[in-house]
Amino acid sequence: MLTFILKRLGQAVPVLLAIYTITFFMIRLAPGGPFSDERKVAEHILERQMEYYGYNDPLIVQYGRTLLQHVKLDLPPLTSHIGLTAADIISESFPVSLELGLWAMAIALFLGVPAGVIAASRQNTWLDYTPMSLAMTGICLPTFVVGPILALIFGIWLRWTSVAGWASPVDRILPSLTLGLYYAAYIARLTRGGMLEILSSDFVRTARAKGATEFRAVVIHALRGGILPVISFLGPALAGLVTGSFVVETIFQVPGLGRHFVLAAVNRDHSLILSTVLFYASLIMLANLMVDVLQVLLNPKLRYK
């Protein structure tokens, strides 16, 4: 298992390098630069800024230097947050996104998995149709519609929660719910699909024939296999959740990483774009690795190789 993990980590290096290279050159292709503004910058001032932030060197030198800075984790200065580096931004905003993501994931699993299990075990009854129609609605409704509606109901009409911000524990409720409901819908459908397949398999029938209770047959025997599609979905979903969602963070004014991810591109802050992309890529790879390990643990048909 250790060799498997090490091998996978080794494979991550060329992938990250490729991602770095593509991102580096792609952002340079976008028109406009970090220093353009409504009021134009004087020629000699622009020259000085370009010089200081290293834009005057040949592109390949910049490519190498920025790469080295990322390898050494000595990140270049930002142009959209003067006096900070991407390390400051990530270390300040990632914990927020992580917390939001974990709450959302908890909500998604807590609602999604039971809904999927019930739907599958009572296929084609109202216990199946009701959660599945709700799930379909959840998938179709984007977060930027659900978010403001929740804020209106709970924040303004009922005044139970705040409508935006990230100061008190109450502030966590709405963004987590908005993000969580969306993923809960996916998870419910995936769980149902996985469970349906497993519930009709021989070993579940054997379990039932041997007198296992319905609960035991479904939850102990079938769920372990039925949840596998959810597990493979969880990897990228978790990475997506913990790196933040631009939409939810904007609607609820959450100081997370997702906003930086998008605003860096809008502001043409090349260092911040590169650092956040690399951070996100590493997280996805890490999450996928965790999922693979989990899958082998859960699925006796798989072996490390």
Partner 1 sequence: MYRFLSKERSRAALAVIALLPFLSSCNPNKEKSSVREQATRDGIFLYGNTGEPPSIDPHLNTAINGMRVTEALVEGLIANHPTDHNLPEPGVAKNWTHQDATVWTFELRENARWSNGDPLTARDFLYSIRRVLEPDLGSNNAYFLYIIDNAQAYNEGKITDFSQVGVKALGDYRIEFTLTGPFPHFPNIIKHPAWHPVHSPTIEAAGGMTKPDSNWTRKNYVGNGPFKLKEWVVNKTISVERNPYYWDAETVSINEIHFLPIDNTNTEDQVFNSGRLHYQNSVPPPMIPIYLDNGDPYIRAEPWLGTYFYMLNTEVPALADKRVRKALSLSINRKALVKRILQGEQHPALSFTPLGIEGYEPPELEGFDPNLARQLFADAGYPDGEGFPRLSLLFNSSETHKQIAESVLQMWSSVLNIEVDLQNQEWKTFLESRSNRNFHIARSGWIGTWAYPDIFLSLFISGGGNNDTGWANPNYDSFLEKANNEPDPEKRLAFMHEAEQVLLEESPVIPIYHYSRVYRIAPEVKGWYPKLNDNRNYKYLKLEAATP
In the complex, the residues that contact partner 1 under the rule CB under 8 A are: 30-33, 36-42, 44-45, 48-49, 52-53, 77-84, 88-89, 92-93, 142-145, 148-149, 151-152, 155-159, 162-167, 182, 240, 245-247, 250-253, 255-256, 259-260, 266-268
Distance (Å, rounded) from C-alpha 124 to C-alpha 58? 65
Token digits of residue 147: 């978010």
Q: Which helix (H) or strand (E) holds 51?
A: helix 43-52
CB of 156 vs partner 1, minimal distance in Å: 4
Of the pair 4, 35, the CB lying nearest partner 1 is at 35
Of the pair 143, 288, the CB lying nearest partner 1 is at 143
CB of 80 vs partner 1, minimal distance in Å: 5
CB of 292 vs partner 1, minimal distance in Å: 25
Asked if residue 50 lies in contact with residue 35, where contact means CB atoms within 8 angstroms, the answer is yes
Three-class secondary structure of residue 85 per DSSP: strand
Of the pair 72, 159, the CB lying nearest partner 1 is at 159
CB of 209 vs partner 1, minimal distance in Å: 45
Of the pair 191, 243, the CB lying nearest partner 1 is at 243
Asked if residue 147 lies in contact with residue 234, where contact means CB atoms within 8 angstroms, the answer is no
Distance (Å, rounded) from C-alpha 119 to C-alpha 214? 14
Distance (Å, rounded) from C-alpha 267 to C-alpha 36? 9
Asked if residue 70 lies in contact with residue 87, where contact means CB atoms within 8 angstroms, the answer is no
CB of 130 vs partner 1, minimal distance in Å: 24
Tokens 């979903």, residue located: 237
Of the pair 262, 290, the CB lying nearest partner 1 is at 262
